Copies of this chain bind each other. A is one copy, B any other.
């Protein structure tokens, strides 16, 4: 027999991403639409353990769809990784009468939810919120599209000064395990080369590419480097290498860092968040549990948590080729 859901909790967990507030809003309003009570859980699983809950109605989320960050705040919880921590969290949820929760976060947060579901048979649903777009089972993660635009705007600014001074810039962008951001902003920012975790371009090719670019009459160059690039060199080391091994370059470095996580979400991310919030709540209502909501072929679909956390999303190799052609 289907257990009726009466109170749903919502939390944001792990690194924040633009669109998290839009997703919270959607979860809250979809609950209101279906006459289900909704509780915000502060500071991710940490707040769950502390019983840091607040009841949220449709009006409580007004004016947040365009705000970066998360009004529920986020955190990484060590305690939730222990059986004891999760037991306390469960007791807190029960005490508050919460029947199910939606967690907005990355694969670490989903793993936590999956274990929690297994231990307590507690209905859970996930919304992928991370700028890295590194989650299997969805073509997009929430915040990714916004981050791409944020980074491209910054690269446009760096190019202004690069081309005024005939400089070579190494620009480090986020992406420890996957090169989605680097690959896309590299193409969109007109980069000479793009260094990503998935492909070992090799220093030799980088050097050759820069030489060819100079020879072809280009007066300035930008190389986009993902945090976790396969060459294994930081942008500072890359600068040193070029300084020592190549003549005639004025090399500069820029590490974009945390600004990539902020800012008002793009239209895509707001709509995406709104759609996923509806799907998450309505899936819980119809008795589903243990799934991640995501996008496949422009449709909102579910992927079982165990599949989502096992894989990594793959880069599209076509883009590597497009980048090569564009930087001719």
Contact residues of A with B, CB < 8 Å? 12, 15-16, 18, 20, 25-26, 29-30, 32-33, 58-59, 62-63, 65-70, 73-75, 139, 145, 148-152, 154, 156-166, 169, 184-185, 187-190, 216-219, 252-255, 257-259, 261-264, 266-268, 270-271, 274-275, 278, 297-298, 300, 316, 318-319, 321-322, 325-326, 328
Contacts and interface: CB of A to CB of B under 8 A. Distances in A.
A297 B298 contact: yes
Residue among A15, A59, A261 with the highest chain B CB neighbour number at 10 A: A261
A67 B63 CA distance: 11
A258 B254 contact: yes
Residue among A75, A217, A264 with the highest chain B CB neighbour number at 10 A: A264
Nearest to A156: B66
A190 B59 CA distance: 12
Contacts of A160: 16, 18, 67-69, 261-263
A254 B257 contact: yes
Contacts of A262: 156-161
A253 B256 CA distance: 11
A13 B271 CA distance: 30
Given A26-B326, A149-B266, 8 more contacts: A16-B160, A63-B163, A73-B164, A74-B164, A157-B263, A184-B267, A252-B257, A275-B319
Contacts of A219: 73
A297 B297 contact: yes
Contacts of A297: 297-298
A161 to B, nearest CB: 4
22 contacts: A15-B161, A16-B164, A18-B160, A32-B328, A65-B190, A68-B157, A68-B161, A73-B164, A73-B165, A139-B298, A150-B157, A152-B267, A159-B262, A161-B262, A162-B258, A169-B258, A187-B271, A254-B258, A255-B255, A268-B268, A271-B319, A297-B297
Contacts of A163: 63, 69, 73
A188 B267 contact: yes
B33 A325 contact: yes
List 9 tightest A-B contacts by C-beta distance, closest first.
A157-B262, A68-B160, A160-B262, A69-B160, A188-B270, A148-B267, A16-B164, A69-B164, A297-B297
